Amino acid sequence: MRSFHLDFARRPFRDERPLFLVVAAALAITAGLLAVNIRLYRDFSREMEGTNRQIEYLEQRRTRAVQTAERARAALNAYKVSTLARESRGLLKVIGERRFSWTGLLSRLERTLPPEVRVARMTPKFDNTGEATIDLGLVGKNADSVVRTIASLSRDPAFDAVDLKTESTPEVGVAEGHSFTLFVAYRPEGRP
């Protein structure tokens, strides 16, 4: 095999300039493409860093949104429960008012009150559990009527927590008798 070496003094002269020109052009194109690839890689890396930061930011935002939604759900559920409890207490009060038997109360008072005491005023008030408290304005013949009335109401199982609120005598300005006011808890079924 023949070795190849460049000897320009020998004949026949070979013109290898086109070969060098092609090699130089290929090297220039390779260097240009390498520079473009490096620039593209650098831009891609920057873009990926920005995308990673954006993904982290969006994940943090999603986590905060989930936590906020959970807190809102918990608050809404607590509100619903408290609203339902309030509504149920109101419904119990309405049920207590609807179930209240005026004739039952009046017949019970007629049996329980002493004969010398008469009812001047009666106002039932219902609490949230449906229990009735009755504000009774009564008129008796004398101060002993108050004692007998409290004793007879206390003996009856339908009346509980008898409380004397006011008392006025005929000297104070009540001409018809001894006037007094009682607050009484009324449970038609009797004491629990």
pLDDT digits over 75-104, tens only? 877 777 777 777 777 777 777 677 777 788
Residue 147, number of CB atoms within 10 A of its CB: 13
pLDDT level of residue 51 (50, 70, 90 thresholds): confident
- Mind listing the pLDDT tens digit for each residue in 26-35? 999 999 999 9
Pairing between β-strand 178-186 and β-strand 132-140 as defined by DSSP bridges: antiparallel
Mean pLDDT to the nearest integer, 66-74? 90
Closest CA relative to residue 93, chosen from 131, 64, 51: 131
Given a contact cutoff of 8 angstroms between Cβ atoms, the answer to whether 163 and 183 are in contact is: yes
Q: What is the DSSP string of 104-151?
A: HHHHHHHHHS-TT-EEEEEEEEE-TTS-EEEEEEEEESSHHHHHHHHH
Global confidence as pTM: 0.49
192, pLDDT greater than 60: no
> Mean pLDDT over all residues of the chain?
82
